[in-house]
Chain A
């Protein structure tokens, strides 16, 4: 009588469970082969920008201030060659209802869940998104479950994740905490099946469309204050939704010339599903452990087609090191009077370096900040790192080895945004596409889709397909 709840059986019911939990028939947007109609999906399942502004306005989300970071700009100019050093700005997303830009993503999902008659929402997240969903659910009167990857097998959890659990519980959510492993998804599916709640996935069109208001506001606020758009916008990149939504919002505002740069913390060498390495990283989000796999295969997310497709919109992708982000977080507090959480400052560390490449009359914007507090602050994070055998030293960031040490730069001139080869990521994405679909012949439409999804061109895609032995 009762259903088979084994790992294999539940995973096999994935599609059926998801259909009920999201209410999107993804097959509608798919054609044979590789292509799917991304824009149609965004149009037909999302909301207009104006709808979203209204939805977000009802629950204390959006219209966050932009600060010019005058002292950090001054500092960057002292370190840069003469005539270089763009003005640095930051969009203070910490002032959203739940303390981060993620409230934008949650607002639309929770609104939609309520409208569709779901009794509750579920999200799998150890980060700011959980707090955002819990906060929005509280405002809209829905029940909420947050599933967290929280502890290693010793029962040790990072203070940042524990703080997120506290915040979610403060909003009346149930927080289900798990040890390390991709089977979090299995638990997530079981909960969706048991409760019949809505999957407030980060990767639905609702979640991504929710961030479009962020990009749109950036353009509007700059035009009002500075008379033009910023030259560069830097977004911390993990699953890709932050960058995707922001870039789409900029495009909707007509800010086509803005360069969109992704930034992640370099966690090279650390396996994300490893029990022993779990607590040897000091960043739970915004790092290459998410940034690279999601950029090169967005559909690995918890929905059949991810609406977060960072490669489509990224003009440049850089990494910074953990120690550099902790340093710049301290600098933001000390020089600008803004105490904010480190993960969001990943893009600030990158922007501080990139500003030094740009002319003085240019403007660079960091598009988010996040709240900070006990647990979620550089001090507890560095204390925790030390307790777990990670050395904290002052020196040259080039000597940082993720999981072994955190190197606070001995001088701000050592903070460097290091470029990731975008063509390499594009190739890897196309390879993943071919391997997953097991296709050996593609259509012209597929080629067009691949070139759009990688922001490359037809020739680039064709050359690579030939190398992979795929016919067209």
Chain B
């Protein structure tokens, strides 16, 4: 398994509040699950594998402990899949403007 070395940019995970410690006002479905947290930082341990408890220094220099879950984390959001439902809009609008629909 891939190991992270000291100074590597990693993502860690933590449980902030267990379900039984959650705020009284939260809805029932939310109360069933813990409050979880993710943060990124430079690994302070000499080396670690995913799943191990580690400490990191965040980009601004704060030290946080948690479970190592990702090494060199990346952003996987993008422009999304094709949404064919949107394709009529531009043509429809140009049609209305050009053809004089609704003109009296």
Interface string of A267-283 (1 = CB under 8 A from B): 00001011111000000
Q: Which residues of A contact B16 (CB under 8 A)?
A: 178, 183, 186-187
Contact in complex: A71, B97 (CB < 8 Å) = yes
Contact in complex: B78, A408 (CB < 8 Å) = no
For chain A, the count of residues having a C-beta within 8 Å of the partner chain is 68
- The prevalent SS among residues of B at the interface is loop
Chain A min CB distance to B48 (Å)? 20
Out of B77, B86, B94, name the residue touching A408 (CB < 8 Å).
B86
Q: Which residues of A contact B78 (CB under 8 A)?
A: 159, 374-375, 380
Known: A163-B77, A195-B62, A408-B86. A181 touches B30 (CB 8 A): yes
Contact in complex: A159, B89 (CB < 8 Å) = no
Asked if B22 CB lies within 8 Å of chain A CBs, one says yes
For chain B, the count of residues having a C-beta within 8 Å of the partner chain is 49
Contact in complex: A335, B97 (CB < 8 Å) = yes
Contact in complex: B79, A380 (CB < 8 Å) = yes
Measured CA separation A381–B78 after assembly (Å):
10
Known: A143-B61, A179-B35. A7 touches B21 (CB 8 A): yes
Q: Which residues of A contact B83 (CB under 8 A)?
A: 378-379, 382-383, 386, 392
Q: Which residues of A contact B75 (CB under 8 A)?
A: 162-163, 165-166
Give the residue name and chain of the B residue nearest to A378 (CB). Answer: B86
Asked if B44 CB lies within 8 Å of chain A CBs, one says no
Q: Please count the residue pairs between chain A and chain B whose beta carbons lie under 8 angstroms apart in the complex.
A: 169
Measured CA separation A178–B92 after assembly (Å):
42
Asked if A448 CB lies within 8 Å of chain B CBs, one says no
Q: Which residues of B contact A326 (CB under 8 A)?
A: 86
Measured CA separation A333–B93 after assembly (Å):
11
Out of B36, B40, B96, name the residue touching A78 (CB < 8 Å).
B96
Contact in complex: B30, A275 (CB < 8 Å) = yes
Q: Which residues of B contact A78 (CB under 8 A)?
A: 96-97, 100-103
Measured CA separation A327–B87 after assembly (Å):
10
Known: A181-B23, A273-B27. A408 touches B60 (CB 8 A): no
Known: A145-B60, A174-B58, A335-B93. A159 touches B35 (CB 8 A): no
Give the residue name and chain of the B residue nearest to A137 (CB). Answer: B60
Q: Which of B47-75 contact A (CB under 8 A)?
A: 58-62, 75
Q: Which residues of B contact A74 (CB under 8 A)?
A: 97
Known: A78-B102, A172-B60. A330 touches B23 (CB 8 A): no
Give the residue name and chain of the A residue nearest to B101 (CB). Answer: A78
Chain A min CB distance to B80 (Å)? 3
Give the residue name and chain of the A residue nearest to B64 (CB). Answer: A176
Interface residues of A (CB under 8 A from B): 6-7, 71, 74-75, 78-79, 82, 120, 143-145, 150-151, 153, 155, 159, 162-163, 165-166, 169, 172-183, 186-187, 194-195, 271, 273-277, 326-327, 330-331, 333-335, 374-375, 377-384, 386, 392-394, 408, 411-412
List 19 A–B pairs whose Cβ atoms lie within 8 Å, in order of A's numbering. Answer: A71-B97, A159-B80, A173-B59, A174-B39, A174-B58, A176-B37, A177-B37, A179-B37, A181-B26, A186-B23, A187-B37, A271-B27, A273-B26, A273-B30, A274-B27, A335-B94, A375-B77, A382-B80, A393-B85
